[in-house]
Amino acid sequence: MHVAWLIGLLALLVPVASWSQETSDRWPMSEVEALRLVLGEHPRLAGPQKGVDAAQRSVDGSDATQPWLFSASAEYTHQDRPIRDAFSRGMQIQDSFVWSVAFAKTWEFGLELVLALDNTVSRSETPLVLALNGAEVKQRRLTGPFNFSVLSASLTQHLLKGASQVVNSLPQQRAELELSAAQLEVARQRNQVLYEALTAYWELQRAEAALELRRKSVGYVRQQQEIVDELIDAGTTARIEADFVEQQLVTAQDAVALAELSRDLRELELRQALALPADEQMKILPTTPMSVPAKRQETLEDMTTEVIETSQDLQAARQRLAMQELEVIRSAEETEPTLDLTARIAQQGLDDQLGLSDGFMLDAYRQIALIEFGAVSFGAIFSMPLDNDYAEAAAESAEIEYTKVEAEVKLLENQTALRVASSYRTLDSTHSRLALLDKSVDLAKRNLETGQERYAAGHIASLELMRLQEELEGAEVQRLNTQIDLVLRDLELDSLSGRLLERFGVVEP
């Protein structure tokens, strides 16, 4: 008797081992190595056929009660995948060891009970890159090992249906399956077309925004070209007047000595005529032509490209923030017990099965009433996490990643707001400088008019009159250069705070 039990147990415990190495589709550069060992036939992988056979034996009058079935499996997985973000760069190593033990027993009339214990031990090693005092410090963070255990019990009742109408129901079953597959394919194609249409629409909107920005850029460049042409014309006129001044200087060499002796007297008369203090008079009246502002180093195309890249980084960071929120919620849900209701319809003697939606028992009964199959099975599975530090560690890691991504989003938003505020301050300063230059031009015009009147009366020489003309021209050139700078500042502010940033969700301060 004991020898028979020993032979039966050895027949059940047939070792099956397998080794696999593959490349994941989700991580193209990662490699996954797995070793799996299975002892015996797992009751849950055997399907409802054993319960169907038990129900058939009970109808035939034979004994349907089977001894307890035992199954054990172990699987070790090693995975290397590349990781690169704001704080990590390199290869991340993940190891996991999963083992399970299950017992199953079937009674007459198709009643089946499965008790299973699953345990998972996992660890990970992540490379860290930290910036300390301007230098990068590379470290590796070891997380784990974490243990996760689940005890589950599954009770299933298999009902045997009449087998006389099986042959007549097979064509109807096959037709309904083909119809469902066709409906799923049509829905998939419709969703694909809708996705492509939405993608094309957003690409069109983005192209329209870029076109509008280019049109504004062309308009500003044209205005700048017109101002430059005016400056070129003014420079040509200035050269002609310089030649005329040289000719007059040759003829006015005799009056230079007299002009030097009476210079102090003329400056005193000019200050008294304007009724201004001496210190303010020296600040307002320049003695040398004002310098022309230097050419801008940053072009409009570079500014626009930088704004677009900043906006795209901000949008990607917000998407990562939303994904981390979902990860935190999912990790928290793994700590709760679960209860699943299952239903199956299987054809006796055939291998194909039709699985129904878990938990929807009314749909299962409606399908049973419409189609006659060989056997119907329904049951419940209750899972209770025993040691759930793995889920807690995953939730804590997700919260840390959430905080890191949230800080990155705040940093990008603050950088964009700082650039907008800086542009506003620069624009206000340029407006103030332009107002002061307008006053300087008006003062130079009044000085020139006064000098022309005094020159007509013979109080000053022609050289002094030409000096007043040069001061007026220098003030006008300085005002034109400031107007060019003001146009470029307006263009930069428009590229920062216009519709482009509103499209990517950046709000002005």
What is the dihedral sign for C-alpha 499, 502, 504, 507?
positive
Residue 213, both tokens: 């920005």
Q: How many CA atoms lie within 13 A of 229 on its CB side?
A: 6
* CA gap 151, 386 in Å, rounded: 7
- Relative orientation angle of helices 166-251 and 462-497, to the nearest 10 degrees: 170
Question: What would the pLDDT profile of 381-440 be if each residue is shown by its tens digit?
Answer: 666 666 556 566 666 666 777 677 777 767 776 776 677 677 777 777 878 888 888 888
Adjacent-strand bridge partners of 33: 21, 78
**Pair 89, 125: CB distance under 8 Å:** no
Cβ atoms of 29 and 82 closer than 8 Å: yes
Residue 386's pLDDT is 61
pLDDT reading at 143 higher than 50? yes
Q: How much is the CA Rg of the chain, to the nearest whole Å? A: 44
Positive or negative, the Cα torsion across 475, 478, 480, 482? negative
The rounded distance, in Å, linking the Cα atoms of 343 and 158 is 10
Inter-residue contact 364 to 129 (CB < 8 Å): no
- The answer to whether 341 and 361 are in contact (CB under 8 A) is yes
More confident residue, 159 or 435: 435
Query: Is residue 473 within 8 Å of residue 238, measured between CB atoms?
Result: yes
Helix or strand or coil: residue 295? coil
Closest to 485 (Cα-Cα) out of 305, 292, 215:
292
13-65 pLDDT per residue, tens: 444 444 444 444 444 444 545 555 545 444 444 444 444 454 444 444 444 45
Digit-coded pLDDT (tens) for 104-127: 887 766 677 888 888 888 888 877
114, 43 in Cβ contact below 8 A? Answer: yes
Please say whether the dihedral angle defined by the alpha carbons of residues 465, 471, 473 and 475, taken in this order, is positive or negative: negative
Q: Which helix (H) or strand (E) holds 475?
A: helix 462-497
**CA dist list (Å): 497 to 34, 296, 305, 423, 509:** 53, 20, 14, 10, 10
Distance from C-alpha of 219 to C-alpha of 173, rounded to nearest angstrom = 69
- Which of 112, 189, 97 shows the shortest CA–CA distance to 147? 97
Q: Please, are residues 52 and 7 in contact by the beta-carbon 8 Å criterion?
A: no
Stretch 464-477: mean pLDDT: 82
Choice among 80-84, 117-121, 371-375 with the minimum mean pLDDT? 371-375
Determine how many CB atoms are found less than 10 A away from the CB of residue 50: 18
- Residue 116 has a pLDDT of 85
Chain mean position to CA 421 = 25
pLDDT at residue 472, rounded to an integer: 83
Which whole-number Å values give the CA distances from 395 to 81, 341, 389, in the listed order?
A: 21, 27, 10
Quick check: 91 and 101 in contact, CB under 8 A?
A: no
Q: In angstroms, how far is CA 398 from the centroid of its own chain?
A: 17
User: How confident is the model over 334-339, as a mean pLDDT?
Assistant: 60
> What residue segments make up the domains of the chain, in order of their start?
13-203+335-387, 204-311+413-503
Q: How many residues does the chain have?
A: 509
The SS3 of residue 23 is strand
